[in-house]
Copies of this chain bind each other. A is one copy, B any other.
Amino acid sequence: MKFPLRIGLIGAGRIGQVHASTITTRVPQAELVAVADVVEAAAKSCAEAHRIATYGNDPHTIINDHDIQAVLICSSTDTHAPLIEAVANAGKHIFCEKPIALNLQQIDRALAAVEKAGVKLQIGFNRRFDANFKRVRDAVVNGEIGEPHIIHIISRDPAPPPIAYIKVSGGLFVDMAIHDFDMARYLIGSEIEEVFVQAAVRVDSAIGEAGDVDTAVTMLRFANGVIGTIDNSRQAVYGYDQRVEVFGSKGAINTLNNYANQVVINTAESVHRDLPLNFFMQRYTEAYAAEIEAFVDAIANNKPVPVSGYDGKMAVVVAMAAKKSWLERRPVRIEEIG
């Protein structure tokens, strides 16, 4: 293994640029040497902003570059699985944004290629790297609250995405709640066995017309007996709302939201503070950086990646079960999927 690690970036959209910035400014063990985007102007702009030597519109230039040791896949969802396969076949390590794919055959084929190539694959569940959620996980692992009995996740966006996005994203369970299914598995450290969903269109009827819901509560039953709920809304008018609570035999853990400042103002009308950090780019800045640092560290020190391809698959499987529960209005066992 040569250092600094030479990394290529496929997909120079918003999240691709975040990762480019992380590697350039915070990861001395790694170097971003090439960027590809189907929109060549995007690749060029990203290359210039982050002083990346090479750019272009063809990901295969990166895949075929023998000097590149690892690839970040930040392109559109439909390309994830084929790119994982191609990059794995080229013997490079892979960091891929979620979801791996929206169908299980594609996911399994991609994971098989990774397995066969013996490369590392890390999925971009950035929230696992957030200081709050890591602390909750630590508390659970350390037994600070004993055996966990119940988990609640609140995960609300400040505003819905464009309807056009909803039409292709797979819908709330796949594009949004998937993070929470992963978070639930991560925090509890056990597999989800059954889901039951109540959902509705409360925010925007156009979302319903696009075949999706904007408000959902998912109940979970885990293999280790823990019961969970996930609360999702496409629109919390007060801003991005990301909290969890884990209750156990020796106590409970609550996380509060994150705010840009810790200032409280008391006036004749109320005691108030500013709204929480508005959305994921502000809320999870550090988590995005930390996941890339962890990926490079896993390669550099030949450690297991902290979010595996299997984790990536299971979040999709649970999302599919949740969608099925909503459509069929009944509890769905995870083993019914796939």
Q: How far is it, in angstroms, between the C-alpha of A215 and the C-alpha of B149 when the chains are bound?
A: 8
Question: A275 touching B271 by the CB < 8 A rule?
Answer: yes
Q: Is A236 at the interface (CB under 8 A from chain B)?
A: yes
- How many of chain A's residues have a CB under 8 angstroms from any CB in B? 74
A238: contacting residue among B28, B135, B257, B268, CB under 8 A:
B268
Contact B275 A270 (CB under 8 A): yes
Query: Which residues of A pack against B, CB within 8 Å?
Result: 24-26, 28, 49, 131-132, 134-136, 139, 144-147, 149-150, 152, 154, 156, 196, 198-200, 202-203, 215-217, 219, 221, 225, 227-229, 231, 233, 235-238, 241, 245, 247, 249-258, 260-276, 329-331
What 18 additional pairs, Cβ within 8 angstroms, besides A134-B261, A198-B227, A257-B262? A135-B263, A146-B237, A149-B200, A152-B152, A198-B221, A200-B225, A202-B225, A217-B227, A219-B229, A229-B231, A231-B247, A238-B252, A238-B268, A252-B266, A255-B263, A268-B275, A270-B272, A271-B272
Among residues of B, the one whose C-beta sits closest to the C-beta of A144 is B265
Q: How near does chain B come to A114, taking the closest CB pair, in angstroms?
A: 32
CB atoms of A202 and B267 under 8 A apart = no
Roughly how many angstroms separate A196 CA and B194 CA in the complex, as a whole number?
13
Contact of B247 with A156 in the complex, beta carbons under 8 Å: yes
- Chain B residue nearest to A237 (CB atoms) is B268
Q: Is the CB of B241 within 8 A of A252?
A: yes
Nearest chain B CB to A256 CB, angstrom units? 4
